[in-house]
Chain A
Amino acid sequence: MAKRDDRSNPLKPVEFLVLAVLDDRPLHGYGIVHEMAARTDGRISPRPGDLYRVLYRMDRKGLLEPDDGEAACQEERRTCYRITELGRSVLVSEAEFLKKMAAEVLSRRTGSLAEAT
């Protein structure tokens, strides 16, 4: 257990979604949830406590950082977050990993379907 490096951990689904949403543009917490709900057809929308705990954790892992420069956020006087370089590379490698997994699952399905017919 101890030898695993935090950074190479597979991301939790909600962390992945946060990074995916922030990949577009910096957003504040409420915006992240909005965007996340929109992209997942409302399937995933964390409660406030859950969300900020995740943000805090990801911030400490260096996956994202507060972004004080964003004009829209300054207007609303809320903290916005933007994805870091590290976050982006983790996101990409995670996306590739997921893509591989998804491809495997789907190919097996189509394969078995083909056999059945």
Chain B
Amino acid sequence: MRSYPGWGHPTFPRSYRLLLRLYPREFRERYGRDLLEYVAESTAVYERRSLLNWTRTMLDLAINGLGVWFDSLKRAARSMLKWRSARSASLGFAGPGGGPPRKRGARVEFALQDLRFGFRMLRKHPGLSLIVILTFGLGIGYTSTVFNITNGFVHKELPFEQSHRILALDQTDPERTFQYGDITVPIHDFTEWRAQQTAFEQLAAYWTRMSNFSIERGAPERLLGGYFSSGVFETLRVQPILGRTISEADEKPGAERVIVLSYDLWLRRFEGSADVLDRTVLVDAVPRTVIGVMPEGFKFPFAQQYWLPTVIEPGAFERGEGPRYSVLGRLKEGVSAEQAQAQMATIAARTARDFPASNEGKGVSVRTLRAKLIPPAHYALFYTMLGATLGVLLIGCANVANLLLAQASVRARETAVRSALGATRGRLVMQLLTEVLVLACIGGAIGLALGYLGLEWFVAKMTYVLTTAGDGEDLPFWIRFEQDYRMLLFVVGATVLSSTIAGVVPAFQGSTANLAEAMKGGGRGSASLKARRFTGGMVITELAMSCVLLILAGLMIKSVRQLSDVDLAFATENVFTARVDLPPERYPSLDSRLAFQQELYGKLGALPGASVATLSNGLPGPGYGSTDVMIEGQTYEGNGDVPRVHIGVVTPGYFDVFESRVLEGRDFTASDGRETLPVAIVNESFARLQLDGDAIGKRLRMLHDGAQWLTVVGVVPDLSMQMFGTAGSEAGFYIPMAQSGLGSYLTMAIRTERPPMTLARDVISSISSIDPNLPAFRVMPMTGVMLRMTWFYPVFSRLFMVFGFTALFLGAIGLYGVMSFAVMQRTKEVGVRMALGAQSWELLGLVMKKGVVQMVIGLGIGLTLALFAAGPLEIVLYEVQGRDLAVFGSVGAVLALTSLAAILVPALRVTRADPVSALTPE
């Protein structure tokens, strides 16, 4: 066999290459490349790169792909039959009467006949077939796109051995209900749990931090690291590919400083060299010896690039203080998660009794590591989307069923003849079902290709945002968009299911035809009650489905409109941003940090092209952290009663950089220092909610020990201190950086007249002129910061928009078809009534009544379902309620109008018909 080096040739459109996967491997290996080259050549020759040509080529490839399998199947069946008849002849029980062997052979023959018949029908009714194929193709394509995305995000098991037996432990605290995320475990609790528990093989702890990583003489970079106690690697059951991992000795105070590298980091900075062990690297300027390299893909717990031992020394801290950890453990053989939970609860209760000051009321939560890393709230959005697309598919199935039903009544004559000639009912049903299946398979093949393309589009969008607009941050390790068997399985399942849904009623309906009836009746006007009920049910289902989908799409679209219309209170154009973190090892004292800040602040403001610069601990958009504050003169019942608001630490110039203004009072100035009056600037929400609108001169104090009273000197607009696009209060205040004890995490923002990124080089060199070991990171324009916050709105809304409009389109066509069919069935009745003297408007009312009733029921069900379906979507909606009246109202109105039109048009046609022709069969 020849091998083809040019196999991934870019001139072959990806869609064709994907379809080639339909063919048997042997075929692909032998002809694949030639076939694609022929396609490419004929496209080039005829210069027909049109959609029509693409569709034709796709259909050609899909049909023949199935055809090749069909050919092989036929050959296999033939040789089997030959062998069988030869054998039964030699055994002496051959005979046309047929023992069991003959019967089974016949079944295979029948199936082949049905298949062949299916293909023949396809060629005979190309128009109908094309519509059915495209409906299936689009429906399955959408569904598998969303499934593939969901699959990448949430379906995956964590890539560890028996990962469901790895549990994550957190503290629970009924008082801290406001807490976003998990409550990590204090060091003392961890060491006690570790010593007392017997349910787990062992308990291990970790925490994470971004640090400055460098190799001697190399440029520093900012990387995410994991700080692991001993046992994390063992619990996950991951072995290093080089050297060793973190041992118990490494977590003791005074142990040698070591580091384990990720595969990516090892490749990137050490070219994958085997003598990396015992080399020295610098993490936050502290030298560490490389002891191991982890296998490719291991990035636990998020997207870590290296791991360090964490020193666990409970004796060094008072109880209730000290570091906190995330804790995990692997269940011992034979121990269940419930037993582990019970034991941990006992231990936690004992601790709470022994140390009420620090532990009263605190418990422990035990859940799978997967549930901790991928919180169930994440699923909701994806499942809503999956549900939405399944809705589109269902609408498509209903339409196909309707088309086939109409066709079945036309084909009643053929069916009747066949059954008169001795075809059994089962045989007729199977044949009709096979016809649908053939169409669905071709649709499924197109759907498979669309699903791949859709996933690629999504990943490209996402990667663009995360890498170009970001600073090369990696996706968490459990998100892996890769082709796997689940995608194929899903498409196969969807194909079989949808062909069954679409085919089963028409098949049974079509197979009951009565010969005499069919021959004389002209195949119309005699649909049974069952069929009418079915079409009625379909109208209602389609309407309800379209309604739900359109409302979900409408909510998303409205969110996007809100986002693009939103009048940001701050300017994002012409602002350069970057971040630098001061490692505590190198900048342990407040003085050293202040000195760095002041020097940097001075340099940034003096850069050529910079009009004003600021340092802060955050940016508008991503928002700021929160703190509890007391306001002077107010009384609070307990700690839970104290308002929790955002706090920003900024230098003078912050409000100028974002072209905001001070509404009342004054801005911070260079003279607000450690020796002067501690001051604060509050935002409008804070002033309104906590200070009754009268802010200047009021005093407030943070809750932690040693906090001073801060005097409010100014009021500014709300500048998105709450993370943009998320629910929560905007209320917050700012303090001058010079008066804060913080300042390890510095975000720079510089307003400039030039394209913002042209400042990058100067900013980086200013930083390294102060400290060459500090890397700047998240270097991007402010517009990039906002894009990172909002990228998925356009992406997801486009998905929903496509679903929604397809649903509306399919729904309207389906309604029209179903209504026409239903009304046509009453042609005779209308003719009789007309002949008996009924007025045409009376008849119109009569014919439309049923349709209108169905419409009202369908819309009612749809609107109700949408209320429930919108709930999970709310977390991603921006300033739109899940029960947005405008969206519900306009979708309802659009659907009502569409369906009224779909009812009215066929009704008019019937009632205007001439009674004579209505009563005469064709």
Contacts and interface: CB of A to CB of B under 8 A. Distances in A.
Contact of A53 (B6, B64, B75, B109): B64
Contacts of B726: none
Interface in A1-42: 1-3, 6, 28-30, 33
B78 A79 contact: no
Contacts of A70: none
B483 interface: no
A57 B71 contact: yes
A47 interface: yes
B31 A49 contact: no
Contacts of A68: 2
B75 A60 contact: yes
Interface string B551-565: 000000000000000
A28 B41 CA distance: 13
B63 interface: yes
A43 B351 CA distance: 90
A48 B68 contact: no
B517 interface: no
B2 A79 contact: yes
Contact of A28 (B27, B34, B42): B34
A68 B82 CA distance: 34
A26 to B, nearest CB: 14
Nearest to B33: A78
A2 B105 contact: yes
A29 B33 CA distance: 11
Nearest to B19: A49
B81 interface: yes
Contact of A49 (B6, B41, B61): B61
Nearest to A50: B64
B100 to A, nearest CB: 16
A49 B63 contact: yes
A56 B30 contact: yes
Interface string B130-173: 00000000000000000000000000000000000000000000
B25 to A, nearest CB: 12
Interface in A50-64: 50-53, 55-57, 59-60
B208 interface: no
Nearest to A31: B38
Nearest to A79: B34
Interface string B23-48: 00001001101110111011000000
A52 B2 contact: no
B85 A48 contact: no
Q: How large is the interface on A (under 10, 10 to 19, 20 to 34, 35 or more residues)?
A: 20 to 34
B85 A2 contact: yes
B71 A53 contact: yes
Interface in B42-74: 42, 56-57, 60-65, 67-68, 71
Nearest to B35: A52
Given A1-B109, A2-B81, A49-B60, A55 B31 contact: yes
A47 to B, nearest CB: 4
B458 to A, nearest CB: 29
Contacts of B4: 77
Contacts of B60: 47-50
B85 A52 contact: no
Contacts of B105: 2
Contact of B82 (A2, A30, A77): A2
Given A2-B81, A2-B105, A56-B27, A48 B75 contact: no
B336 to A, nearest CB: 55
A30 B41 contact: yes
B30 A79 contact: yes
A53 B57 contact: no
Contact of B38 (A3, A6, A51, A57): A51
Contacts, number: 74
Nearest to A56: B27
A50 B66 CA distance: 11
Contact of A48 (B6, B42, B71): B42
A33 B31 contact: no
A6 B75 CA distance: 9
A29 B34 contact: yes
Contacts of A56: 27, 30-31, 68, 71
Nearest to B68: A53
Contact of B37 (A1, A6, A51, A78): A78
Highest count of chain B CB atoms <10 Å: which of A48, A50, A52, A60? A48
- Most chain B C-beta atoms within 10 Å of own C-beta, residue among A28, A53, A56, A59: A53
B64 A49 contact: yes
A68 B4 CA distance: 13
B27 A33 contact: no
Contacts of A66: 30
Contacts of A49: 35, 57, 60-65, 67
A66 B33 CA distance: 14
B279 to A, nearest CB: 47
A47 B57 contact: yes
Nearest to B64: A49
Contacts of B67: 49, 53
Contacts of B2: 68, 79
Interface string B68-110: 1001000100100110010000000000000000000100010
Contact of B61 (A3, A48, A55): A48
A1 B82 CA distance: 10
A59 B75 CA distance: 13
A77 B4 CA distance: 8
Nearest to A68: B2
A57 B413 CA distance: 36
A30 B34 CA distance: 8
Contacts of A51: 38
A48 B82 contact: no
A55 B27 CA distance: 10
Contacts of B78: 2, 6
A76 B33 CA distance: 12
Contacts of B75: 6, 60
A55 B4 CA distance: 19
A2 to B, nearest CB: 4
Nearest to A45: B42
B31 A52 contact: yes
A78 B41 CA distance: 13
A1 B113 CA distance: 11
Contacts of A28: 34
Contact of B34 (A3, A52, A59): A52
A57 B30 CA distance: 13
B26 to A, nearest CB: 9
B38 A48 contact: yes
B520 to A, nearest CB: 35
Nearest to A4: B78
Interface in B102-135: 105, 109
Contacts of B37: 30, 78
A68 B34 CA distance: 14
Contacts of A2: 78, 81-82, 85, 105, 109
A28 B64 CA distance: 19
Given A29-B38, A33-B38, A48 B30 contact: no
B31 A29 contact: yes
B39 A48 contact: yes
A66 B27 CA distance: 13
B109 A48 contact: no
Contacts of A47: 56-57, 60
B38 A30 contact: yes
B34 A78 contact: yes
Interface of A: 1-3, 6, 28-30, 33, 47-53, 55-57, 59-60, 66, 68, 77-79
Q: Which 6 A-B pairs rank lowest in CB-CB distance, beginning with the nearest?
A: A49-B64, A49-B60, A2-B81, A47-B60, A53-B64, A48-B38
Given A48-B57, A78-B34, A79-B34, 10 more contacts: A2-B105, A2-B109, A47-B60, A48-B61, A49-B61, A50-B60, A52-B34, A53-B64, A56-B68, A56-B71
11 contacts: A6-B78, A29-B31, A48-B57, A49-B61, A49-B64, A52-B27, A52-B38, A59-B30, A66-B30, A77-B4, A79-B34
